[in-house]
Chain A
């Protein structure tokens, strides 16, 4: 049955903390960092006001935050934290350990440029770097998606076929600090949806003693990594099931790859997070002019939906991948490289170009995305890409 919806005005950070309040996790260990701070600040108010039963652990660094989360999750607690940029970088070592110990920790991440030079504004260099850490990664266009996906992430992470940690992304300041209409489910319905957490191997179960984190050398380390790869292959089906169930609760439908006016499109851009919204507006305008334009938003970046993406993209003539971070591979941004690799087995293949944009919070505007579609149109006509990797919005 659908939950009664309440429309509220929330910033992206507020959407995350509101979801956390309704989830009512057992433990939250976190350290403040711009632009994530307000998630944990607001949540600690909920703790202080007795609105949740959570044990809040204010730690002295993000390395400690994730360490405390690993300990709490291993003990058997439903555990959450949140971070951004340099905070995520400081957690790095333990981010890998959380995934390899198969601890279903859920972490909203507010995307912010990694230093240096030091910068507090949005780009995706922080989470793009953690793609190989073994976490599931879900990206969100706006506050509503953040709220919904943080709730869904609990179910995805804790699914017995998965047991992996999940990051839920939003754009720093653009999403995190902009007030939007966010539709909220009833508390009781969310509590019922996430259910009671029944940990698989809790350290606190003294009748079944378990060892976490023993030395694992050339004899078994490889087998444990193979298990992690295997678990990630089960994620897409689980996400689909969770999204389907969540639709019944909220009326809102999510897919691992969102498409906008992609049917019959010849030109398409691929983008993540808030830029998807801007691109949709541009596509509306282009469609009115008769240009067959569309948007593809691969919300789930880990595991990467390569085959399905290939199938969608094979129908286009030319595609631009918009990357809000650099990979420094001299081959384009991280998303571009992955999408291209996924297309190797696809036939026919579209022409592909890469737009690296918005680093350190540099604004991306509709005119610039219009320019990308312009380039795509010319490329489709000429049958080749003029410039493979373009830096959009940088002063030449």
Chain B
């Protein structure tokens, strides 16, 4: 985010563009990241269903389940619910 001077921003803390939450990445604070072992994954979508932040994505064409790390908070629920035990929480490298 480019940080602007007080002379350049709308007054009163207002945001004048709609839908701006899309630009706000909230995945920056996780300590552990889920990693899916694709050779084991059966794309059952349990992790997709249980993710509290809708940060698990599924590509129906490739039938491929993945994690959107820009929004994943690293809570580990996906690891817990995975029936194949193929999701591992790995320490986030910074």
Contact surface of A with B, Cβ cutoff 8 Å:
100-103, 163, 201, 208-214, 216, 219-224, 226-227, 230-231
**CB closest residue in chain A, given B5:** A223
Question: In angstroms, how far is the closest chain A Cβ from the Cβ of B6?
Answer: 4
Question: In angstroms, how far is the closest chain A Cβ from the Cβ of B92?
Answer: 22
In the complex, what residues of A have CB within 8 A of residue B3's CB? 219-220
Q: Which of B13-21, B27-35, B44-52 contacts A (4 or more CB under 8 A)?
A: B13-21
Given contacts A224-B11, A227-B11, 18 further A-B pairs with CB under 8 A are A100-B12, A102-B11, A163-B11, A163-B12, A201-B10, A201-B14, A210-B14, A210-B15, A211-B16, A211-B20, A212-B14, A214-B15, A219-B3, A220-B3, A220-B9, A223-B9, A224-B6, A224-B13
Question: In angstroms, how far is the closest chain B Cβ from the Cβ of A370?
Answer: 48
User: How far apart sit A231 and B6, CA to CA, in the bound complex (Å)?
Assistant: 12
Contact among B1, B6, B16 with A227 in the assembled complex (CB-CB below 8 Å): B6
**CB closest residue in chain A, given B1:** A219
Contact among B4, B11, B16 with A231 in the assembled complex (CB-CB below 8 Å): B11
Could you list some 14 contacts between A and B, CB below 8 A? A101-B13, A101-B14, A163-B12, A201-B16, A210-B16, A211-B15, A212-B13, A213-B13, A223-B4, A223-B6, A224-B12, A224-B13, A227-B12, A230-B6
**CB closest residue in chain B, given A98:** B12
In the complex, what residues of A have CB within 8 A of residue B15's CB? 210-211, 214
In the complex, what residues of A have CB within 8 A of residue B20's CB? 211
**CB closest residue in chain B, given A229:** B6
**CB closest residue in chain A, given B18:** A209
In the complex, what residues of B have CB within 8 A of residue A223's CB? 4-6, 9
Question: In angstroms, how far is the closest chain A Cβ from the Cβ of B4?
Answer: 8
Q: Is the CB of A208 within 8 A of B16?
A: yes
Question: In angstroms, how far is the closest chain A Cβ from the Cβ of B28?
Answer: 13
User: How far apart sit A226 and B6, CA to CA, in the bound complex (Å)?
Assistant: 7
**CB closest residue in chain B, given A216:** B13
The 9 closest A-B pairs by CB, nearest first: A102-B12, A223-B6, A211-B15, A209-B18, A226-B6, A101-B12, A102-B11, A216-B13, A224-B13
**CB closest residue in chain A, given B15:** A211
Question: In angstroms, how far is the closest chain A Cβ from the Cβ of B62?
Answer: 36
**CB closest residue in chain A, given B9:** A223
User: How far apart sit A230 and B7, CA to CA, in the bound complex (Å)?
Assistant: 10
Question: In angstroms, how far is the closest chain A Cβ from the Cβ of B11?
Answer: 5
Question: In angstroms, how far is the closest chain A Cβ from the Cβ of B19?
Answer: 8
In the complex, what residues of A have CB within 8 A of residue B9's CB? 220, 223-224, 227
Question: In angstroms, how far is the closest chain A Cβ from the Cβ of B1?
Answer: 7
Q: Is the CB of B6 within 8 A of A214?
A: no
**CB closest residue in chain B, given A163:** B11
**CB closest residue in chain B, given A223:** B6
User: How far apart sit A188 and B6, CA to CA, in the bound complex (Å)?
Assistant: 40
